[in-house]
Every structure is written in C-alpha cells, then in structure tokens.
Amino acid sequence: MSLAFTAELAERGFEAQIGVRPGERVAVLGHNGSGKSTLLNLLAGTLRPDSGKAVLSGRTLFHLGSRTNRWLPPHARGISLLAQDALLFPHLSVIDNVAFGPRATGASKAEAHRCAEDWLAEVGVADLAGRRPSQLSGGQAQRVAIARALAADPKLLLLDEPMAALDVAVAPLLRRVLRRVLDGRATMMVTHDLLDAMLLSDRIIVMEQGRVAESGPTEEVLRHPRTRFTARIAGLNLIRGHYREGAVHDDTGLSVAGAVKDGESLAAGALAAAVFAPSGVSIFLEPPAGSPRNNLSVRVAELEPLGDLVRVR
C-alpha cells in the first residue's frame, strides 16, 4: 500500500479512512463542503487533524492520539500539491521555478536545472524556460506548475481542480499532458469534471459530509452510482429506497422495477437504489400499449428547449 490514511477533525466533521495503491490515480468527487479540500490539506500537512495516522510508502506522515504526537512538516513529506492557480514564484524564471524542488532537496544547481529542463520538455514548454511567470498565459503557467510539482519527485501528487481556472480551449491540452505524465504515478485529484475523472483516474472516491460515501473503480462507480451526486455527474437518475417485490420503493411512494445488478441478490426490505438513464424514459399523452415495467402518472410543468432536445419538467 503506497498510502494508508485515517483521520478525524471534529471542527469540520471530517472522519475518513482512505488507501492509495502504488501508482494508482484516484479522483475525489463531492459537493462543495463535502471534505475534499480538507482531505488534501491533511495529507499535505497544511491542516492538522485531532487524531489519526497516515503512512506513505512506509514513512509515517503523522500519528496523533492520546499517547502519540508524531507530525512531519509539509516540506518533509514527499508530497506535492498543485492548486487551481499555478502560484509560481514571481521573482524566479520558469526554469528556476521548476528547479526549486530538486534544489530544496540538496541537488546542485546544474543537476536541478537538468531535471527542470527534462520536465519542461515533458509538459511541452521547454521554450519558455527563460521567461518570468508574468509573461505566461494561464495554460502555460499551469504546465510549468505541473513540471515544478513533478520535478520534486513526490511519493504522492495532490491535484486540487488543476483545470478549473483554465478556459475551455486550453483544458483539453492540459488534460492530455496530465494523462501522459501521471501514468503510473500515485495521484489524488479533486475535481468536479466528469471527463477528468474518466480520463485521469483509476478509482473514484466520493465524499459526503466529511466521510467516504462511495469508492470503487472509475468505470464501475460511474456505471452503478450509489449516491445522488455521482448519479448526477454521470448523467443518470438515481432513486434510493427499499427493495420489495422486484422494485425499489422510496419514501415518497414512488416505485421503480428493474433488473438486479449482475452477481447481486436483494432480500425484501433491503436498502437499494434504482439507476436509469434519461434516455430510458418515454412520455405519452395516453397510457402506452405493451408492457413497460414502470408507468408513472405525472403533471408536465414546463417544456424547455435545449437545441435539438426538449427538457421536460
């Protein structure tokens, strides 16, 4: 296990246990205030939990409890944190920004510059080495920030919505860069973008109210979501309730019948969720012929044109 983490922070209602395997890329999803940034800050060492323990590649980052008080400062953890903003050092050139990490760990100036040149080339901005951050576009600055984070050779790379501040034209280019340079590198990435999660992660963790509400392989979580948040970003409808007589019944009296997920069996009264795509719903003015499993009488409140589609409320 590359990372084994457990922590509690009462002030923020945070209590979570998370693991990351060597080379695994994990996307962290959730509503605003669900605990995503708290998780990254606890790992980076910029926030201290009330209790817990984190071990990264056999090295204890912190171990806090009634009888223990072990705490590694951020610079000694072997973790790089890349935020939404590049936060490059304004007084340093691009190459000196990237060389900062190796220099801080004892590399000579020549060694650090060779490392920086390699990473600038890797992210496609080697020609910008002599510029100052004020001379860079947003996309260029974020590429340099990625190179700086990786030049430090972190045991774990933390990404906090790295493309949120970029315009639509630049984000796909940076996504391709990240997909290449993160391959085989232990990474934890906070994102609200479904495409980032699909292309850049092996596993998804969904946070709710400071706790892990859902976790699993990316494709599996998006195909069979267990939380409303995950269902919404996956473009699916989710109804949660109890299983009886071949259907999921929610608290409002709505019931949805359907096939049980392969390999699972449900007892009567068990907690269950029905997931279905909007394209699986048809609307009729009169009761339809045939034998659809679910017929619901509703009142149409509004028709909202969306290009070639119409949203029905």
Tens digit of pLDDT for each residue in 11-52? 999 999 999 999 999 999 999 999 999 999 999 999 999 999
At 56 the three-state DSSP class reads strand
**pLDDT band per the 50, 70, 90 thresholds, residue 64:** very high
Percent of the chain with pLDDT over 70: 99
Of 214 and 258, which is predicted with more confidence? 214
* Pairing outcome for strands 187-190 and 156-160: parallel
Of 79, 78, 104, 74, which Cα lies nearest the Cα of 89? 104
**DSSP β-ladder status, 237-244 and 211-217:** unpaired
pTM over 0.85: no
Distance CA 4, CA 2 (A): 7
Q: Which domains does the chain have, with CATH numbers?
A: 3-217 (3.40.50.300), 236-312 (no CATH)
Helix, strand, coil percent content, the chain, rounded in steps of 5: 30, 30, 40
Structure tokens at 213: 């509400």
pLDDT bin (cut points 50, 70, 90) of residue 146 is very high
Position 188 pLDDT exceeds 90: yes
Percentage of the chain lying above the pLDDT 90 cut: 56
Q: Give SS3 for 211.
A: strand
| Exposure class string for 125-135: b at 16+ Cβ within 10 A, else e | bbebbebbbee
> What pLDDT does residue 96 have?
97
pLDDT digits (tens, 9 = 90+) for 149-178: 999 999 999 999 888 777 777 788 888 888
Q: What are the start-end ranges of the E strands in the chain?
A: 3-9, 14-20, 25-29, 51-56, 59-64, 69-71, 79-82, 156-160, 187-190, 203-208, 211-217, 237-244, 247-249, 255-257, 271-276, 303-306, 309-312
Across the chain, what does the average pLDDT equal? 90
Average pLDDT over residues 67-95: 93
Under the banding of pLDDT at 50, 70 and 90, the label for residue 1 is: low
Band (295; pLDDT cuts 50, 70, 90): confident
Residue pLDDT, tens place only, 190-228: 998 888 888 899 999 999 999 999 999 998 998 888 888
DSSP state of 303: E
pLDDT band at 263 (very low <50, low <70, confident <90, very high): low
The pLDDT value given to residue 280? 83
